Amino acid sequence: MKDINFMTEEVKPILTPKRDVSKEKNISIKAILILVGVLVFITASILSPKVYVKSLEIQSSLIQADINSDKYIEVKSLNGQINAMQTTLNLKNNVINTINNKEVQVLDIINYVQEATPKGLYINGIDYQDKSLSISGSVKDSTAVAEYIANLNRFNVFKEYTSNATVSYEKANILQIFKIDLTKTEQGE
C-alpha cells in the first residue's frame, strides 16, 4: 500500500529544528553551581572571622574564670607582696641615686677631712648635712686646731663654708676637746 498524503503544504506543521535542551540545562546548572559556590565563599568569608572571635572570647572567659579560682589566691597575694617590695626598693634606689648625684660625695668629704688632719689631732666624729659639717675630736695643742682649719680651707670644697671652732680643756686629761662647725654660705651673703 501506498501512502497518499492528502494534506496540503499549508496544513503541514512547520518543522523547526530541535533545540539542544541538554546544553541549556548544562549552562543553567553551571551558572547555579558557580553562583552557589560564590555565595558559600562570601558567607564563609564573612562568618569565619566572627566565629573565630567568638571562640577567642570563650577561651578568654575560661582563662579569666580559671585565674579567679581559689588556686591562684596565693599567687595574687605574692604578687601584692612583690609589688610592695618593688616600691620599697624603688624608694631606697631613689635615696641612693640622690646621694650619688650630690656635688660632693660623703666619701670625698671624709677623705678631705682626713687629709687635712695635722699631727697630734685626733678626730672622734664627723656630722655632715647638706649645708653644714661638724668635726669633733681631741688635740694636744690648740694651735693644731687653727692649722687644721687652714688646711680644710685649702680644699675647694670648703671654700664656701664659714668655720667656728671651740676648744675646751679637761682637767683630768692632757688632751683638749675641740669642735669645728663649718656652715655653707649661700651665694650673695
Give the model confidence (pLDDT) of 86-128 as tens digits.
999 999 998 888 877 766 667 888 888 889 899 888 899 988 8
At residue 40, the pLDDT reads 93
How far apart are the C-alpha atoms of 4 and 94, rounded to whole Å?
126
Cell of 36: 552557589
For residue 115, give the nearest of 161, 151, 87, 160 by alpha carbon: 151
How far apart are the C-alpha atoms of 153 and 139, rounded to whole Å?
19
At residue 2, the pLDDT reads 66
- Asked whether the beta carbons of 124 and 111 are under 8 A apart, the reply is no
H-state helical runs in 68-188: 73-100, 106-115, 143-154
pLDDT tier, 56 (very low <50, low <70, confident <90, very high otherwise):
very high
pTM, entire model = 0.43
Q: Which residues pair with 183 in a beta bridge?
A: 132, 162
| Level-2 CATH architecture, domain 106-184 | 2-Layer Sandwich (3.30)
Res 170 pLDDT > 70? no
